[in-house]
Structures are given as structure tokens and as C-alpha cells.
Structure 1
Amino acid sequence: MKEALDQTHNWLNLIRLELEVHFDNGAAIAPYEESGFQVEGTKRFGRFKAGRYIEVLLMARIRPEYQARALGAPCYRKMDLDIREAQNRNLDLPRAR
């Protein structure tokens, strides 16, 4: 799991990973949660298994630096930081042409 997450973040530059898992598959759910996946929803009657319909959990993992942004932590672009720094130092800003 660790290698797959490394590949998606560092090579593919993905922000969000999603998966579906049967609600009764605790052996799969536990490692997903340990890896940062969270349950986002449930599909009622999502799969037909062993002669009955079961629920399917929808899980997702948001890349940690984007998770902080979603929770309200400020996340600024470099230009925004440069403007704030210039304002704090009372420096002249380049003017738009």
C-alpha cells in the first residue's frame, strides 16, 4: 500500500484516490484506514453477493497537503506569498501593464 501511495503522489501527481469495498470486508478496510482512507459514503444494495445484496463503502484518500487546505488551513500560491511579504515590508509592488 505504501509503495502504491508513493507512486500516485510522487509520480502520477494525483490528489485524490478513491475505492469501493464491501462493508463486511474488515480485512481490507483496516489497512485502508491506516493508510489515510476515510469512508465518504455507502451504496445501499451496492453489490449482489452470496444470494443477497450488500452495502459497499465508498472510501477516499486526499493527499495530505490538500487535506489541510480542505480543512481550512491557508494554502497560498507563491505569488500570493510574495505580495503579502511585500505588503508587510512596505515594498513597491510591480504594476500590471
Structure 2
Amino acid sequence: MSAIKGYITELSYDGGKYCYKIVATDTSNLKLSNADFCSTKFYHNKGDLVYATFYGNDIKEMLLIRSKIEEKKIKRTFKNRKNIISVPREEKINFD
């Protein structure tokens, strides 16, 4: 039995099984640096930080540590934009 803590980098559905690829964030105590395995059960999404235990190519359990957080871009509108007018090159004044 082996364990890995890391991010799910790839997730695919193949032949009735969900196949995961995890890249480790914690490699202390001779833990794996990456792992590929499949399961009939869907656990978590791509980008999630998980702790998974598995035996051979089969998952025993996968615990979610932190889900992927997608940052939304904030649209900013500038309402107080002023038009920049260039300085006049010449000016004529008529006195009639």
C-alpha cells in the first residue's frame, strides 16, 4: 500500500474507470513523487489537492484537502475618463 499527497494534474474516463494522475507536493519520508491509477468511482476534480492511498493501480481512498479555486477576473470600468485636448497651435481674435 502506498500514499501520496499532491495535486490532480490529469483526469480521464477510460473503459468505465476514472484515471487520475497526481503530482506530489510532499515527498518526505520516501513518499512517491507522482502516481497514476484508476478507479470505478469518481473522487475529485482536476486541480484539487488530495491525499490518496492505493494498492497497485487501484485506489483505496482519496481525501480532499483543498479544492481548486478559480480566480475570476474583475472587469473594471473607468467612468471618469476625461478627454485630453491638445493645446491650440494658433488662435485668431477678431474685433469688429
User: What's the TM-score, normalizing by structure 1?
Assistant: 0.23
More helix by share: 1
Q: Radius of gyration: which is bigger?
A: 2
More strand by share: 2
User: What's the TM-score, normalizing by structure 2?
Assistant: 0.24
